[in-house]
Amino acid sequence: MSMNRLSESAALTLLQRSKTRYKRDIKINYEPAAQDCRTCLTPGACCTDAHFVNVHITWLEAVAMRETLNRTPRLDDAARNRIYMRARATVERYGLRVTHTETNFRQTFACPLFEPNVGCVVHARAKPAPCIQHACYENWEDLPPVEMQWRTEHNIEALNTRVYQTAWAWLSVPVWLMLVDPHGDQTELARLETMWRTGRASWDEHGNVAYRRRTERRRLPVFYRA
Ligand code: SF4
Ligand code: SF4
């Protein structure tokens, strides 16, 4: 993919397209072998199990989530605020931090986007790739190949790089929600942006920061529960 600069709104459209394609592929080719979530005895356990959930997203995906939360008719202002407050409380409760290393991915939490009786509030338009990939399968051989997730994540990384250059990172969902909270403290994201912009430049003299990060991700625990 060309690394030409892209506006955030153009990138959001491409992000949506990439995820829709991925979702459709999973739904048609793999989901029929998975357990139907409507028959689940512990619905949402996959989203709220704090020993297990380590879903990370990027800046662009956080913006897509914020737009989804803004637009969805299912949420009024009070519900929206509750989600951002839950994100903040989750960051504090689980001590989630922004780090440069893989330890970031070892941080787990109960996802603040799970609403009891509703489910995932970004399900339709802004679901993270590991959550699209995830379902409960009886047989390991029915699982979608993890390369599908990597391919989508590679697209996501390329889009982030085209919008923010080196100034973005994979961070946990609650941390990113806190950073893009419209009523939150905008200075924290500005501070991180500067840090990323200056600190990342030396990681790869070819400017191929995104690829390097994907390689790191390959060794990380995957969002599966069989
Ligand atoms: S993915 Fe699994 S744990 Fe989560 S709701 Fe569906 S069946 Fe239940
Ligand atoms: S983003 Fe949605 S699907 Fe993913 S863990 Fe959170 S509530 Fe669950």
* Gap between the Cα atoms of 80 and 69, Å rounded: 7
What SS3 state is found at 10? helix
pLDDT score recorded for residue 186: 87
CA distance 163 to 9: 9
Confidence check: pLDDT of 225 > 80: no
> Measured from the CA of 37, which atom of ligand 1 is nearest?
6
Whether the model clears a pTM of 0.85, i.e. scores above it, the answer is yes
Q: For 12-54, how does the pLDDT look when each residue is reduced to its tens digit (9 = 90+)?
A: 999 999 999 999 999 999 999 999 999 999 989 999 998 889 9
What is the spatial distance between Cα 91 and Cα 175, in angstroms, rounded to a whole number?
6
H-helix or E-strand spanning residue 115: strand 114-115
- Range 36-44, long-range pairs (CB < 8 A, 24+ positions): 37/135, 40/136, 43/119, 44/114, 44/116, 44/119
Ligand nearest to the CA of 69: 2
Band of pLDDT at residue 99, cut at 50, 70 and 90: low
What is the rounded end-to-end Cα distance, in angstroms, of the chain?
34
Tokens of 93: 């409760």
Q: Give residue 48 CA to ligand 2 midpoint distance, Å.
A: 8
CA of 137 to the centre of ligand 1 (A): 9
Are the C-beta atoms of residues 107 and 94 closer than 8 Å to each other? yes
Higher pLDDT, 31 or 221: 31
Candidates 26, 38, 39, 46: which one to mutate for ligand 1, based on the most atoms within 8 Å of Cβ?
Answer: 46
Q: Classify residue 200 by its DSSP letter.
A: S
Which residues sit opposite 137 in a β-bridge?
Answer: 34
CA dist list (Å): 189 to 6, 59, 71, 95, 122: 20, 10, 23, 18, 22
Mutate to test the pocket of ligand 1, among 42, 47, 127 (most ligand atoms within 8 A of CB): 42
Measured from the alpha carbon of residue 38, the closest ligand is 1
**203 CA distance to ligand 2 centroid (A)?**
31
55 lines ligand 2 (CB under 6 A): yes
**Domain ranges, ordered by start, for the chain:** 8-217
Torsion angle defined by CA atoms of residues 141, 142, 146 and 147, in that order, rounded to the nearest 10 degrees: 90
Establish whether residue 53 lines the binding site of ligand 2, counting it when its CB lies within 6 angstroms of any ligand atom: yes
Q: Which residues line ligand 1 (CB under 6 A)?
A: 35, 37, 40, 42-46, 135-136
pLDDT digits (tens, 9 = 90+) for 123-150: 999 999 999 999 999 999 999 999 999 9
